[in-house]
Amino acid sequence: MKKIVTLLCLGILLVNCSNNDDEMDIENSTEIVVDETQEMGTDMYVGNFVSLAHPTSGVVSVSDDMSRLDFKNFKTDNGPKLLVYLTTDTDATEYVNLGDLKGIEGDYNYTIPDGTDIGKYKLVNIWCVDFSVSFGYAELKK
């Protein structure tokens, strides 16, 4: 994010420096303000992925209305039949199935079923069905 803002500021500076006028027009200059809370939202629950059976990383958050799980900069290994679970523990003894893992690298969204208690199912678990193992998980915290 900082890299994008820096490049954008550099681009504005280069355009202004190439202007033939001797003075910079202060009235027409703009300031770029980046609010990082707009990018992630003001999520109530957030967690960082931790590796278990396979390297897993990224950030996961729950939308304000508790209806959506958002993965940002997510990355894990490929595997057979990978699912996204909300679980009570890393062994997935109790879970809510959010569906197939949509990809092994990137930003993804999953719908949280109505009535799901995030206080109870506070782990986001990348579960390999074929080997009954967690690739990695994130604990959702306020």
Q: What residue segments make up the domains of the chain, in order of their start?
A: 2-35, 46-139
**Is 62 buried (19+), middle (13-18) or exposed (0-12) by CB count in 10 A?**
buried
Q: What is the pLDDT of residue 17?
A: 38
Q: What is the pLDDT of residues 90-126, one digit of tens each?
A: 999 999 999 999 999 999 999 999 999 999 999 999 9
The whole-number average pLDDT for the span 37-51 is: 73
- Residues 94 and 59: their CA atoms lie apart, in Å, by 22
Instruction: Please give the structure tokens belonging to residue 14.
Output: 């280069």
Q: What's the pTM? A: 0.70
CATH number of 46-139: 2.60.40
Three-class SS state of 26: helix
Q: What is the pLDDT of residues 65-86, one digit of tens each?
A: 999 999 999 999 999 999 999 9
List phi, psi (to 5°) of 93. Answer: -70, -35
